[in-house]
Structure 1
Amino acid sequence: MTSIWEQAQALREEMTARRRNLHQHPETGWTEFRTASMVIEELRQLGYEVSFGAEVVDEASMMGVPPAAELEQYMARAVSEGADPELVKQMAGGKTGVVAVLRSGKPGKTVAFRFDMDCNDVEEERGAGHRPAQEGFASCHTKAMHACGHDGHVTIGLAAAKLIAANREQLAGTVKLIFQPAEEGVRGAYAMVNAGVVDDVDYLFGGHIGFKATADNALITMTDGFLATTKLDAVFKGVSAHAGAAPEQGKNALLAAAQSAISLNTISRHSQGSSRINVGVLNAGTGRNVVPDIASLKLETRGATTEINNFMVSEARRILEACAAMYDVQLQVTMAGAAPACLADKELGHEVAELAKAKCGYEQVLEYVDMGGSEDCGYFMERVQQRGGQALYMMYGTQIAAGHHNSHFDFHEDCMWKAAATLTEIAVHFTNK
């Protein structure tokens, strides 16, 4: 009988073609209408029970959603690029999440895998040294690029779905595949978690191409050290006035925002672990001779734990409110994204490492790497762990052409079939526990 590793290797050309198709048609967070449509159609053909749209995305929990008119444009674009119009219609409002379930008919555990689908707001390199440009699969959309490997993640997820279905007789319990929108900016997982998509899950696995795994034919089974984070947008509204003739009639929103940008960095560090704050964007004013009546900040906090991050958020809000009061302007603060800390189950990481060594053909299997940064897969992991399950975040080894979120980003596509094989072995092993 052909091994799962060999079955996956036979999908190499199919997976490469799919990844390149996705790479050429990137879609940013909450606009993944074409990608989700492709995912739904493939999963249905494989015999999965497929739920999507409002069934798996809680509208009240969606963060950082584009305006309705913009979403309509992206829906039309998706249809023009081959998406099923009826499926796209059912995902209106940006509800592009997809969940697929395969039931073995035998008692066993429920094992879930999460795959993110969105791209970055990056203009892709068009020069001769960039392989996607050279070989004709660079992004056809301006200021949108799969510069983080999510095109590979979707491809891995669909290949794993095919392999799991082909090896259904080896399964017990249930396999659940979660295709998540809007990971960039940590916006999408929260809405799917609040829709209850992992409430029945015993084991949850997330994963990523590259980052700390930059050697080909390698697997890291446990990634730890992700920081909890909150993304905030602060808008200050004052009163405009003639800066020369009547400055006393104005209320200066620009100064309130500038004061905030400086004062936010006075928040003390936390004794219990790493903490971060950063103001990444400040926009203000309308003219040289006008007291500015409008200003906005885009900022983020991070913490080694959710509690530390919550401390940073509380202090940030306090300072924003104080600065608004100082200049007598109005303040509106909205949450544009968030993620808790990702805390992996160490014994699960060890078990997956032993499984990979026994069943897969990697040259190197490592059990641990400390990551830093943030990942909203933490919401899925946290919910599963709160309900008595276990969770893990892995990394699939590949050389990369440039850093993640860089316009020159690319990766070695052989990592994809190996990842799909690994996830299939995990599905077989853990549904039977």
Structure 2
Amino acid sequence: MDFFKLITLISTLYIFLSSTTPTSSNSSLTPKELAYVPVNFLSLAKSPELVDWMVGIRRKIHENPELGFEEFKTSELIRAELDKMGIPYKHPVAITGVVGFVGTGKPPFVALRADMDALAMQESVEWEHKSKIPGKMHGCGHDAHAAMLLGAAKLLQEHRHDLQGTVILVFQPAEEGGGGAKIMLEVGILENVDAIFGLHVSSRFPIGTVAGRSGPILAGSGFFEAVISGKGGHAAIPQHIIDPILAASNVIVSLQHLVSREADPLDSQVVTVAKFQGGGAFNVIPDSVTIGGTFRAFSKESLIKLKQRIQEVITAQAAVHRCNAIVNFDDKPLYPSTVNNKELHRYFGNVARDMLGEKNVLEMQPLMGAEDFSFFAEAVPGYFYRVGMQNKTQGQLGPAHSPYFTVNEDVLPYGAALHTSLATRYLLEYQQPRSASSKGSSRDEL
């Protein structure tokens, strides 16, 4: 790390802290002084040593992808790096999760989150660090997320004596449908935490930009699966069979009416059937068919209503065709909508503009995709944002959840610097710990 840059940052933080009392509810620093924090952290994050280190971490994780709650090697790698940094942590949390702590060990507490799990798909990108595990790949950027949070951990640990509180590092398993955030939350990792920040890489936005918004940013979602049973037989004698394929086909069409004819057009909802399995021959009608998919909405009420109506429509339509239907909504939890805190949106914008400039802080539209960061943001004030990584001179990046998904590794220092800046400046600006009475419990230190 460049010695001059390091001294500059330490000196700046020392000036900040010497002019601030630990009990103040708002920072006495001027906007110009506060602006130095993200600028200097971005400079440090772009140092060749740290960039190369993060790239190496990301590629190790990418080569060995693991599905939700199976991230044992990924968790081991993260813990080994935290050990080298001298950062204490808790493990296991939610089977493979890791929760690290940097700072005073006392309030206020602010959390940073990265997910770790991969997807069950075969990577189609040919490169030196392609997935070594058949049928599994990091097709959503979680390998980059983990590397960026480790990069932030390194920066935070190097400046731990300047932190006016504690940063909690949340390395979370099972974001891709497993609800790992919910399980981590249930074991109390965010007890008395004042705010939590999470990020996601995006090929929709240029490198060097970020995007966010106040309020709902991602939809809530749930999964369903149904087995529709009839009576199989030869295709030449349909009068002797009860056709589950015909029944399932009508079920799928009827499910689309839930949005087009029952939902308020101004209340965005989506029902998708993405799984249809049945039969193995051209001339034999099977005994049963399995269908499955997802349903999405921005409000909890709409999500619950969709779940109820999916159950009713599948069973009723199957009965019309003389079939039986068993509908399962899996043991996975309903993901609530991800809602960004209004005050944190203002705060995020200030930090991001200081780091990247006004024109590089973008407003994004809500998406129907889901994210289990929503569980964290329901429990404490939360903020989830996108970090751009598109560089058109390097060609178009593959979309997320695609076997052609790729990460522009130039994004790593931006994510690490944003994590570090948001946490550090939050502790500088919001130094009064939240009252324990609001949560009914108290934690004075770790």
TM-score, normalised relative to structure 1: 0.79
Per-residue CA distance 1:269-304 (angstroms, 9 max, x = gap): 422511111111111135556552232111111112
The code of the aligned residue for 1:116 comes to D
Instruction: Tell me if 1:369 matches 2:369.
Output: no
Range that drifts further, 143-152 or 39-48:
39-48
- Are the structure 2 counterparts of residues 177 and 159 from structure 1 closer, same or farther at C-alpha, using a change threshold of 3 Å? same
- Are the structure 2 counterparts of residues 2 and 26 from structure 1 closer, same or farther at C-alpha, using a change threshold of 3 Å? farther
Indicate the residue corresponding to 2:341 in structure 1: 345
Deviation at 1:110, TM superposition (A): 1.3
Distance in 2 (CA, whole Å) between partners of 1:424 and 1:147 is 25
- Are the structure 2 counterparts of residues 187 and 211 from structure 1 closer, same or farther at C-alpha, using a change threshold of 3 Å? farther
The code of the aligned residue for 2:80 comes to E
Deviation at 1:221, TM superposition (A): 4.5
Q: Which runs of 5+ in 2 are unaligned?
A: 1-6, 10-40, 391-395, 431-446
Quick check: 1:235–1:295 contact (8 Å CA) kept in 2? Answer: yes
Indicate the residue corresponding to 1:218 in structure 2: 209
Distance in 2 (CA, whole Å) between partners of 1:176 and 1:198 is 9
Indicate the residue corresponding to 2:420 in structure 1: 424
Indicate the residue corresponding to 1:67 in structure 2: none
Instruction: Tell me if 1:301 matches 2:295.
Output: yes
- Are the structure 2 counterparts of residues 379 and 242 from structure 1 closer, same or farther at C-alpha, using a change threshold of 3 Å? same
Per-residue CA distance 1:202-235 (angstroms, 9 max, x = gap): 10111111144x2121223547531111111222
2:113 aligned counterpart, secondary structure: strand
Deviation at 1:245, TM superposition (A): 8.2
Indicate the residue corresponding to 1:22 in structure 2: 61
Quick check: 1:120–1:147 contact (8 Å CA) kept in 2? Answer: yes
Larger radius of gyration: 2
Indicate the residue corresponding to 2:25 in structure 1: none
Indicate the residue corresponding to 2:267 in structure 1: 273
Counterparts of 1:107-186 in structure 2, within 5 Å, are 108-127=107-126, 133=127, 136-185=128-177
Deviation at 1:350, TM superposition (A): 1.7
Deviation at 1:423, TM superposition (A): 1.2
- Are the structure 2 counterparts of residues 308 and 332 from structure 1 closer, same or farther at C-alpha, using a change threshold of 3 Å? closer
Indicate the residue corresponding to 1:33 in structure 2: 72
Distance in 1 (CA, whole Å) between partners of 2:200 and 2:105 is 30
Counterparts of 1:56-95 in structure 2, within 5 Å, are 56-57=93-94, 95=95
Deviation at 1:251, TM superposition (A): 5.4
Seq. identity, %: 29
Residue 284 (structure 1) aligned to one of 274, 278, 296: 278
Indicate the residue corresponding to 2:99 in structure 1: 99
- Are the structure 2 counterparts of residues 164 and 262 from structure 1 closer, same or farther at C-alpha, using a change threshold of 3 Å? same
Deviation at 1:118, TM superposition (A): 1.6
Range that drifts further, 217-226 or 375-384:
217-226
Deviation at 1:112, TM superposition (A): 1.0
Quick check: 1:122–1:144 contact (8 Å CA) kept in 2? Answer: yes
- Are the structure 2 counterparts of residues 217 and 243 from structure 1 closer, same or farther at C-alpha, using a change threshold of 3 Å? closer
Instruction: Tell me if 1:404 matches 2:400.
Output: yes
Distance in 2 (CA, whole Å) between partners of 1:217 and 1:140 is 31
Indicate the residue corresponding to 1:74 in structure 2: none
TM-score, normalised relative to structure 2: 0.77
Distance in 2 (CA, whole Å) between partners of 1:304 and 1:246 is 43
Distance in 2 (CA, whole Å) between partners of 1:243 and 1:218 is 58
Indicate the residue corresponding to 1:89 in structure 2: none
Deviation at 1:347, TM superposition (A): 2.4
Per-residue CA distance 1:34-87 (angstroms, 9 max, x = gap): 11111122223333332233xx32xxxxxxxxxxxxxxxxxxxxxxxxxxxxxx
Indicate the residue corresponding to 2:410 in structure 1: 414
Distance in 2 (CA, whole Å) between partners of 1:397 and 1:177 is 22
Instruction: Tell me if 1:207 matches 2:207.
Output: no
Per-residue CA distance 1:8-40 (angstroms, 9 max, x = gap): 222111111111222222222232221111112
Distance in 1 (CA, whole Å) between partners of 2:242 and 2:188 is 46
Indicate the residue corresponding to 2:24 in structure 1: none
Q: Which runs of 5+ in 1 are unaligned?
A: 58-94, 128-132, 385-389
Q: How many residues align?
A: 378
Indicate the residue corresponding to 1:383 in structure 2: 379
Indicate the residue corresponding to 2:3 in structure 1: none
- Are the structure 2 counterparts of residues 198 and 321 from structure 1 closer, same or farther at C-alpha, using a change threshold of 3 Å? farther
2:422 aligned counterpart, secondary structure: helix
Distance in 1 (CA, whole Å) between partners of 2:416 and 2:290 is 43
- Are the structure 2 counterparts of residues 364 and 17 from structure 1 closer, same or farther at C-alpha, using a change threshold of 3 Å? farther
Deviation at 1:363, TM superposition (A): 7.5
Indicate the residue corresponding to 1:189 in structure 2: 181
Per-residue CA distance 1:67-120 (angstroms, 9 max, x = gap): xxxxxxxxxxxxxxxxxxxxxxxxxxxx322222335145x3211111111223
The code of the aligned residue for 2:400 comes to H
Indicate the residue corresponding to 2:328 in structure 1: 333
The code of the aligned residue for 1:145 comes to M
Distance in 1 (CA, whole Å) between partners of 2:144 and 2:387 is 11
Quick check: 1:238–1:330 contact (8 Å CA) kept in 2? Answer: no
1:119 aligned counterpart, secondary structure: coil
Deviation at 1:371, TM superposition (A): 3.5
Deviation at 1:416, TM superposition (A): 1.1
Residue 307 (structure 2) aligned to one of 313, 319, 335: 313
Distance in 2 (CA, whole Å) between partners of 1:188 and 1:285 is 35
The code of the aligned residue for 1:8 comes to A
Instruction: Tell me if 1:5 matches 2:1.
Output: no
